[in-house]
Amino acid sequence: MMDLPNEMSHEPLPQIYSNKFLEQSIQFHRTRGCNVRLSSNKCVAERNSNHYSQGYVFTNRPLAIGEKIVLQILRTDEMFTGSLAFGLTSCNPNFLNVADLPEDSHHLLDRREYWTVIKDVANSPMAGDEIAFTITESGEVIMTKNRQRSITLMHVDISQNLWGFFDLY
């Protein structure tokens, strides 16, 4: 149920976390679901409010161990009851055929590459919410919402490069 506004919005951008591991900021990859529009700087994603599915966005590069990525919810869509799914994959989005993306992100688990996904990670997100994700050295994926207590979402195989992805619904 996520509808993120375009870059022309005067909404505040996510807080900036210093990253001692990488100098390069993370953006969304150009590969995306057919119902998502990206801003020209690839930092804001907006789901087509007339469609519930195909709201996939991927990170533009693999995530580093210890790196914190922060997503800020700029706006939600009241038309659909939904949330936000978060996952990790070994599938490089450069080689992903958008036509192969399923309607339901749970079906990504049937693909041959390594995929993990957790639905409804944000628990009814609201405009202004900030959700942060980090992969630890032990493969634990930690999430915090609005700087509250962190929770463990899953454990992943860190022996391979992992791109983050979101399903905005």
Please choose, from the candidates 95, 73, 89, the residue with its C-alpha nearest in 3D space to the C-alpha of residue 163.
Answer: 89
pLDDT in tens, 45-73: 888 777 668 889 999 999 999 999 999 98
Confidence class for position 22, pLDDT limits 50, 70, 90: very low
Q: What are phi and psi of 105, to 5 degrees?
A: -60, -20
Domain boundaries, the chain: 28-168
pLDDT in tens, 96-105: 998 999 988 8
Please choose, from the candidates 92, 68, 84, the residue with its C-alpha nearest in 3D space to the C-alpha of residue 141.
Answer: 68
Q: Domain 28-168: which topology?
A: Jelly Rolls (2.60.120)
For residue 81, the model assigns a pLDDT of 60
For residue 146, the model assigns a pLDDT of 93
Model's pTM, two decimal places? 0.82
Q: Is the pLDDT of residue 111 over 50?
A: yes
